[in-house]
Amino acid sequence: MDSITGPHFHPLRLETGTVPSETDRGQICFLITEHTHDKAFIRERAGMLLRSGCRRFRFCGDQAQDWYFAAGETDEDLNGGIAMPRICASWEGFLEEIRKELETGTDDVFLLYDDEQTFRTALFGLMFGEPCYPDAGTETAEQKNPSGSDT
């Protein structure tokens, strides 16, 4: 998929990445939220994203619900609730939304992540359409056949 390497796709570490201030393009932020963070951290990161111009958020991961609620509260405090946050029900749906955004090419797509392995697996799924999450059928040959026998 060529658009993954295009100028409008921006992968960033959730803890340290910054989104540029508003540009002439819209911004959508996809967040992989696997690790527990305190509410103050989530609100600080959500505030940074909102102040930069991101108005659409998609969350996926073990902590998606915490991020959804804290980001919504932050948006309400800063903007009166203009952002459109949503939790994606599945990894496949999350990746499909990213693909669609990249195909339309109208917005900058930011993929923020707090887990390197999950990010790499998701990126592989975006690029090749393979199972995108470790629990979705990406077991190794040893996991499939722990005895190592050919039978």
pLDDT by residue for the chain (151 residues), tens digit each?
A: 344 656 788 888 888 877 777 667 788 999 999 999 999 999 999 999 998 888 899 999 999 999 999 999 999 999 898 888 999 989 999 999 999 998 888 888 999 999 999 988 888 888 887 655 545 443 433 333 344 444 4
Domain coverage including residue 57 = 2-99+112-139
Q: What share of the chain is helix, strand, coil (3-state, %, to 5)?
A: 45, 20, 40
How many other CB atoms are found less than 10 A from the CB of residue 88?
19
The answer to whether residue 151 is domain-embedded is: no
CATH number at residue 28: 3.40.50
> pTM for the whole thing?
0.79
C-alpha 79: how far from chain center: 22
Residue 57 has, within 13 A of its CA and on its CB side, a CA count of 33
Structure tokens at 78: 């800063």
The answer to whether residue 144 is domain-embedded is: no
In angstroms, the CA 14 to CA 16 distance is 6
pLDDT of residue 141: 35
Our count of domains for the chain comes to 1
Amino acid code (one letter) for 41: F
The answer to whether residue 21 is domain-embedded is: yes
